[in-house]
Structure 1
Amino acid sequence: MTTTTSTRGSARSSMIDLAYVAIFAALVIVFAFVSIPVGAAGVPVVLQNAVIVLAGLVLGGRRGFLAAALFLALGLVGLPVLAGGRSTLSALGGPTVGYLVGYLLSPAVAGALAYRARPRRRGEQIAWFSIAAAVGLLVQYACGILGLMWRSGLSLAEATVSQAPFILPALGKFAVMVIIALAVHAAFPDLLSRPKHPGK
């Protein structure tokens, strides 16, 4: 009876995890179509890269990674999952390929860091979630820089400088994601207190 109950509990937990992953993958895709024009030139600031890290902050490293993997996999079959209506497949051959790698890695890293915070310790949560978001952003930029060097032939300095106009908007976006993630965990504290899956 104990084994049966445990099996049922594990199956239910897996189904819940699958639902979380699917919901966040869909959310990331939806935000591919949200952009905010900034400045006289109207260069858009997209929210998708921040929502990807939000998946890690809310779901943890493993489930955040799976949400990113699912969203990118859907793009491999031609669905327009990326900003600008592009598919993952169309972006693989371009200079932004490094960001795709960053999209995959950043929720895993951010989630693993965020989930080091103990539930119901507000100050600790704020600190860990802020660090996690900053590192997630750094991972995306680092991968993007490497991709630009590879595909566009830019030097390290040139590729790094090209990120400068986007840093301040990105910091603002990621700060909002931290606030949202903290609010979600305040409403659902059990998300941070599931010890069976390390790194979640």
Structure 2
Amino acid sequence: MSGTESVDLVGDEAVSNIALAAVLAALTAAFAYVSIPIPGLPAPVSFQVFGVYFAGLLLGPRWGGFSVGIYLLAGIAGAPVFSNGAAGLGYVLGPTGGYLVGFLLAAILIGVVVHRGLDSKPLSGVSLPTQAGALVAGLAVIYAVGVPWLALSTGLPPVEAATVGAAIFLPGDAIKIAATLALVKGGVLARQQSTAVA
């Protein structure tokens, strides 16, 4: 293989990863519009975490983090990509901003656990328990950042913040993780990811 061919292959892979990262960032934004406000709770039931899970699983820590980073930067710049069409730095610095920061860290952690390095590999070589463990770890990071941030921003006692900002959402989060794994096992996501890393 000539040096030129090697450079071309690396370039093609980078282009594929950037394209998939952009698609997943857009998907995360689309999921953010599927939000269900619950009276009395500081955050709505939102589905953008699916985009975070997909980014980490499909792209690994480097490109998965890049994808979520694009999403966050777009929102900070004023694009209405956060829950219910919210946008701006003020929203990120608000009570639920910690969850958004947690999204970035979660995508990176999921990628590290699943792909065991910076570069992504086919999901077909990663066991379902490993994928499940990675998603649970990612969710834990989201709450580890989001709940203290919520408590500091609102003045809620830590236990109350943990209740209204995490515990009440756990059943729904378990369903989201199961749905993500079902899509992976069904091959829907794996086919898209293998195209990007081939």
TM band (smaller chain): 0.7 to 0.9
Would you say the 8 A contact 1:120–1:189 is kept in 2?
Answer: no
Indicate how the Cα distance of structure 1 residues 119 and 96 shifts in structure 2: closer, same or farther if over 3 A, else same.
Answer: closer
Aligned to 1:86: 86
1:29 to partner: Cα distance: 0.7
Q: Which amino acid aligns with 1:8?
A: D
Q: Partners in 2 of 1:88 and 1:72 — Cα distance?
A: 10
Question: With structure 2 as the length reference, what TM-score do the two structures score?
Answer: 0.84
Indicate how the Cα distance of structure 1 residues 23 and 188 shifts in structure 2: closer, same or farther if over 3 A, else same.
Answer: closer
Aligned to 2:150: 148
1:88 to partner: Cα distance: 4.2
Aligned to 1:187: 191
Indicate how the Cα distance of structure 1 residues 104 and 188 shifts in structure 2: closer, same or farther if over 3 A, else same.
Answer: closer
1:165 to partner: Cα distance: 1.2
Would you say the 8 A contact 1:133–1:174 is kept in 2?
Answer: yes
1:186 to partner: Cα distance: 4.5
Question: With structure 1 as the length reference, what TM-score do the two structures score?
Answer: 0.83
Does residue 168 (structure 1) correspond to residue 176 (structure 2)? The answer is no
Indicate how the Cα distance of structure 1 residues 81 and 188 shifts in structure 2: closer, same or farther if over 3 A, else same.
Answer: closer
Aligned-pair RMSD on alpha carbons? 2.7
Aligned to 1:130: 132
Q: Which amino acid aligns with 1:108?
A: I
Identity %: 32
How many pairs are equivalent?
190
Residues 29-65 of structure 1: CA deviation (Å, up to 9, x unaligned): 11111135789x9x95211123212211122111110
Q: Which amino acid aligns with 1:110?
A: I
Aligned to 2:108: 108
Would you say the 8 A contact 2:97–2:149 is kept in 1?
Answer: yes
Unaligned regions of 5+ residues in structure 2, if any?
Answer: none
Q: Partners in 1 of 2:78 and 2:134 — Cα distance?
A: 31
Would you say the 8 A contact 2:64–2:108 is kept in 1?
Answer: yes
1:94 to partner: Cα distance: 1.1
